[in-house]
Chains A and B, each alone.
Chain A
Amino acid sequence: MKIFKSLLILFVLLSQISCNDNDAVASQDFVIAFKEQSVDFSTIENSKTIQLTFSEKAAYAGSVTLNWTADQATYNTDFETFPNASSGQLTLDFAAGAAGVSFEFKNLIFPFDRSDKAVTFKITSINYGAPAVIQGYSSLLVSFDRAIGGTVLPDVGGPNQPNQVFVDLSTNQVVLSRRDLWDFGFYSGSEDRVVLNGSLYMAATALDQNNIDAVTPASVQGLINQVAVGTFDPTNENYIDDPKGDISETAIAEISANTADNKVYLVNMGYEIGTATPPVGSVAIAGASRGFKKIQIQKTAAGYKLLYANLEDTTHREMDIQKRPDYNFTFVSVTNHNQPQVEPLKDKWDLCFTVFTNVIPGNGSYGYSDFVLFNRKAGVKMYQVNTTQVSYANFNASHLEEQRFVLDQRVIGADWRDVFTGGAFTDRFYILKDTDGNVYKIKMLSMINTSGWRGYPSFEYRLVE
């Protein structure tokens, strides 16, 4: 009997211990902040909506008060705001349920007379029914200067990742383009080189043939299964462009002035942009196969001449392509028979978010999603910093190590993301030096949205001074 009594007591005692868990989590105070840290004055022709964002939807009606200070700029002469802030102060009301507020910044000096004018807006107080704090992007600079930093959500377009997104950090500008707009990029630099659209998982190999019309499906029969991405054959690296971004290592050999040296190429056109909806957290990059084509490229005075045809055709089409020194490439679509605009001017982008054909050492080419490249061809450089050395927040110009900058365009690559959680690894951040010598630190935030869908990357960056 005693045994059982003591056991019962033991159970009662046990029930009292080990309550280390919480039944709810701490809430956060309400925050109002600017959506951006800086705005390029030169991009405002008439007016720009300046957005303030809330940390969560407002539970109560309230207001936020800002003031402004100007450098070389005068209210009503160089700029004005709506609502009016001639007093130096501006109060914006919001209703319960609002996710943010905004005001208009009107530029009165377009076309610009000088480039040293600047206006700074600052949040001074928040009137709200619950505790509210001012933190984060609490001020906004409108100037002709380079961007201080910001948060960017490149619109890769969800789990099919249809877009290539080009980001220019110093102007905080984003340009996007569907990745199936182009098939080949004709290099504008001194070398005569042509790249494949790796975002469609294209692959190519030279044939021992100079007459494009003589190539038939039968003559390339043995190559059809080989010339592809993701075959796990280590030698298939030869069929794709160098993933490091070295223009001298393209799948297609340098175009020779000697016509007879330029062989016909068998091109696996890769895959259409996927249309399937994958499970949440997965991607559906590749759609239907785009089949094979044959091409041949010759050098011309202004650039290149492209000969192309379907594999079974006995005739071919031709297209002349000019080099454009302001751009890295002139892009060509043999699908649409045109030369679309894809990349911005070469000194107007630093990072490109795209699907990409990479190499897994020992396993050959492998199709990647969520890839991030930098603009190696224009001279951008990057390196990775581990947070064990210095944190993102603390990194400043004194930590900069010039010798660590590398040319391999895959510094961010795919290693930034944790495919199992959809998050970004928090133990690393990146340093980028743009073509103007501006140095930015970059921290990747996520590759999914709050619903868990892939193809919604985000990152923050800040000028290193």
Chain B
Amino acid sequence: MLQQLLFRLNKNSIANMKYALFLSFLSGMNVLMAQEGDSLSVLKMDELIISGQYNPQTVNKSIYEVRVINREMIDRQAGNNLADLLNQTLNMNIIPNANTGKSGVQMFGLDSQYFKILVDNIPLINDEGLGNNTDLTQINLDDVQQIEIVEGSMGVEYGANAISGIINIITKKSVQHKWVISPMIQEETVGKEYNWRNQGRHIQSLKVDHNISDRLFANVTYTRNDFMGFWNDYHGKFHLENDGKRGFEWLPKRQHTAKGILRYKHDNYQLFYKLEFFNEGIKRYSNEVLQNYDPATETDQPVGSDAKFKTHRWVHHLNASGRFEDVVNYDFSFSLQQQKRAVEQFQYDLRKDEKFDALSQIYESRKGYYSKGNFSNFIENKTFDFQMGYEFSVMDGYASSLAGTFADPINKKLENYDVFASSEITLSKKLSLRPGARVLFSPQFDNQVAWSMSAKYLFEKGYELRAILGSSPRLPNYEELYSYFVDVNHNVQGNPNLKPEQGKSAFLHLKKQFDFQPNAALQSKVSAWYIDVKDKIDLVVVEVAPLAYSYRNINAYKTFGFTWTNNIRYNDFTAGMGVTYAGVSQELEAQSNQKADFLFAAQFNVNASYPVPTTKTVFSAFVKYNGPINQFVQRQNELNETVFIKGRQDGFTWFDASIKQRFLQDKLEVTAGARNLMNIKSINTTATNAGAHDAAASTLMLGYGRSYFLKLLYKINL
């Protein structure tokens, strides 16, 4: 395809390039047709990937095992943001927070602090970190070509906080036509709720792609996503009674995303500049109403304590890549990023429809610059390749005392100056190795080292074996470093002397493709993995009399498991099936009577897609079952002693389905479907710790029930 060829240009000479361009024009028709029929990414062995590669290359050539969710898959789920999409992915769980409106991701049971989100190979900022703690609902997918997921510790490639894995979002940087103008609207119900005034989810977007010249490409995308909240049995803003039912079950939020890219490609280099602006407004209405009842007049003055959160994100990303004088391949990125979440807190007089005592402040923010550079292919050598590079980031972080238990706002700079090197050694046609190391320098922490060792072995009869070892540290967060909650009855303090946690992982993948007939194939993969986090930071009792808590590098987290995935194609019918079985063990060193046994849980997923040959209507279904999870949790027994009991979180199933059809000579694409057909809202759990001040939760909020969507995308090609 055109883009693959263009990527290959980086490697090839100018003469080859012209030939390639010529080829790409010839294949123009084929490209379109291939996209039409192409449904399941993984069988497309020539799909180009970027994550962890020296140069973009195909999945089967990669030493890393990279999973790809391509545009077609995104479209079939009508995924507008990352949270819409990842529910169906094995070893991952999306955890929405109805109170903050954020959605985090858990991978291998580790939360979003252990996991990095990148866009075009560089980490994306959010108000709590760079690449970590990302709110998935804030990542719009309208300009995305594919999403790459790499499981396991990727410290050498991506630095700190990449213990459980990375998600790399690759944006689209080319089109075939001079102009492509794509307006889109998407209407969704939120559970049973839908109207045009104050219920449901309403998305509008406009995308314009333009080839200004043969060398210069530009794209502008704007999306408005208006989620009007999940009311459930709440009564909204104007509810007068103090019965805890004011406001919303899930907070309403409205997002605007505007993105642009300018890409210039020369014969042996390319430049692109990307700009993104993101704006989000969330309204939080207090569930309780302060009545202010006056017995003298027998009247009330109902008041709510409300807040408005406003988030802004600016991302500038400048990239240059190419080959210099036939000596070295380079790839530089320089990025300025900022995300700021501001809050206005106020009292709201319901009867007068007036706010008073308004107080605005920055809630949390991150701001800074980032640069990454790679050098590789020093010598054109088939058996040995070498990459070295650097990654810098200088981030100003701010957290108001509202954002955590801080005595004063936290205002700290975090600098990282990393250098890394790795090499790919092709020992034979069958065996290739890739050792690597990174040194992380930071004035805030001791120097850290991440290492990796990967190997790929191609057996006879098409069996591919990959073994990947890697490590990555996790840097302590503000809560762990700077908490301060001390009064007569409490003493909880952060620990500025914490060391980074140490994560390492081992993955083994055995893969084979079976071709039965020209039009039927099965690809099967068995993976085994182990992830280990040492020096895990937890809040522990550091003094008994008087009772005092602080954070220490004291615990450990281990998980291992097996995953078996299959992809089948029979003519145009494609299907995927996977099952994973994983055990988690948590060692809590501070507790003498703790239980560190491995507790196991299963997940499986199935997806299928069938395009009706006559009408080209594509029917798709996605199912993922998350088995019950057992976890040892701390409770107080009747003697007030801390005991560990086995808590249990119920299993549940995500089931989505859609129908896609094109009309008007393929100009209009209509997708209709349903999310969460099993109508999941919350599940029961006893697997939560009871805190000092709060009882253990008994339900976990997961969704807002069965919802329907209709998406209309119109494409004007000029």
A residues touching B (Cβ–Cβ < 8 Å)? 3-4, 7-8, 10-11, 14-19, 21-28, 31-36, 53-56, 135-137, 151, 201, 225-226, 228-234, 271, 279-281, 285-286, 362-363, 366-367, 418, 420-423, 426, 445-446, 448, 450-452, 460
Chain B min CB distance to A398 (Å): 22
Centre residue among B236, B401, B545 by max chain A CB count within 10 A = B545
Interface of B is mostly: loop
B residues touching A (Cβ–Cβ < 8 Å)? 187, 189, 192-199, 231, 235-236, 238, 240, 242, 286, 288, 290-303, 305, 345, 347, 350-353, 356-357, 359, 401-402, 487-490, 544-547, 640, 659, 661, 670, 672, 708, 710
**B295 near A225 (CB under 8 angstroms)?**
no
16 further A-B pairs in the complex, CB-CB below 8 A; given A11-B187, A31-B298, A422-B290: A14-B708, A21-B238, A25-B240, A28-B300, A34-B296, A54-B297, A135-B297, A201-B488, A231-B547, A280-B359, A285-B488, A367-B488, A423-B291, A446-B290, A446-B292, A450-B303
**A423 near B288 (CB under 8 angstroms)?**
yes
Chain B min CB distance to A294 (Å): 21
Identify A225's interface contact among B291, B350, B545, B670, CB under 8 A.
B545
Chain B min CB distance to A184 (Å): 19
Question: What are 15 A-to-B residue pairs whose CB atoms are below 8 Å?
Answer: A3-B659, A4-B672, A10-B708, A21-B231, A21-B236, A22-B238, A25-B351, A33-B298, A56-B299, A201-B488, A232-B545, A232-B546, A285-B487, A426-B242, A445-B293
Q: CA separation between A97 and B345, bound complex, in Å?
A: 27
A-B interface pairs (CB < 8 A), number: 160
**B238 near A55 (CB under 8 angstroms)?**
no
Q: What residue in chain B is nearest A233 (Cβ atoms)?
A: B545
Chain B min CB distance to A204 (Å): 16
Known contacts A151-B296, A230-B490, A421-B242; A21 and B198 CB within 8 A of each other = yes
**B288 near A420 (CB under 8 angstroms)?**
yes
**A18 near B192 (CB under 8 angstroms)?**
yes
Identify B347's interface contact among A33, A54, A451, CB under 8 A.
A451
Q: CA separation between A3 and B236, bound complex, in Å?
A: 34
Q: Which residues of B contact A16 (CB under 8 A)?
A: 195
Q: CA separation between A368 and B670, bound complex, in Å?
A: 61
Known contacts A362-B640, A423-B291; A21 and B235 CB within 8 A of each other = yes
Q: Which residues of A contact B487 (CB under 8 A)?
A: 230, 285-286, 367
Known contacts A230-B488, A421-B290; A4 and B661 CB within 8 A of each other = yes
Q: Which residues of B contact A271 (CB under 8 A)?
A: 488
**B197 near A19 (CB under 8 angstroms)?**
yes
Q: CA separation between A298 and B192, bound complex, in Å?
A: 76
**A421 near B288 (CB under 8 angstroms)?**
yes
Q: Which residues of A contact B242 (CB under 8 A)?
A: 421, 423, 426
Q: Which residues of A contact B489 (CB under 8 A)?
A: 229-230, 366-367
**B296 near A136 (CB under 8 angstroms)?**
yes
Known contacts A11-B710, A421-B290, A450-B292; A228 and B301 CB within 8 A of each other = no
Identify A28's interface contact among B187, B192, B351, B488, CB under 8 A.
B351
Identify A24's interface contact among B192, B353, B659, B672, CB under 8 A.
B353
Chain A min CB distance to B343 (Å): 12
Q: Which residues of B contact A137 (CB under 8 A)?
A: 295-297
**B546 near A15 (CB under 8 angstroms)?**
no
Q: CA separation between A327 and B291, bound complex, in Å?
A: 38
Identify B547's interface contact among A136, A232, A421, A450, CB under 8 A.
A232
Q: Which residues of B contact A34 (CB under 8 A)?
A: 296
Chain A min CB distance to B261 (Å): 33
Known contacts A367-B489, A422-B290; A7 and B672 CB within 8 A of each other = yes
Chain A min CB distance to B489 (Å): 4
Q: Which residues of B contact A26 (CB under 8 A)?
A: 240, 351
Q: CA separation between A134 and B48, bound complex, in Å?
A: 79
**A53 near B488 (CB under 8 angstroms)?**
no
Q: CA separation between A233 and B546, bound complex, in Å?
A: 8
**B640 near A136 (CB under 8 angstroms)?**
no
**B296 near A33 (CB under 8 angstroms)?**
yes
Q: CA separation between A11 and B200, bound complex, in Å?
A: 11
Q: Which residues of B contact A15 (CB under 8 A)?
A: 194-196
Chain A min CB distance to B668 (Å): 10
**A229 near B488 (CB under 8 angstroms)?**
yes
Chain A min CB distance to B137 (Å): 23
**A136 near B298 (CB under 8 angstroms)?**
yes
Q: What residue in chain B is nearest A10 (Cβ atoms)?
A: B708
Q: CA separation between A182 and B189, bound complex, in Å?
A: 64
Q: What residue in chain A is nearest B402 (Cβ atoms)?
A: A279
Q: CA separation between A151 and B297, bound complex, in Å?
A: 11
Identify A281's interface contact among B240, B296, B305, CB under 8 A.
B305
**A451 near B294 (CB under 8 angstroms)?**
no
Q: Which residues of A contact B194 (CB under 8 A)?
A: 11, 14-15, 17-18
Chain A min CB distance to B528 (Å): 44
**B357 near A451 (CB under 8 angstroms)?**
yes
Q: What residue in chain A is nearest B353 (Cβ atoms)?
A: A24
**B294 near A55 (CB under 8 angstroms)?**
yes
Q: Which residues of B contact A36 (CB under 8 A)?
A: 296
**B301 near A56 (CB under 8 angstroms)?**
yes
Q: CA separation between A4 and B615, bound complex, in Å?
A: 13
**B356 near A451 (CB under 8 angstroms)?**
yes
Q: Which residues of B contact A33 (CB under 8 A)?
A: 296-298
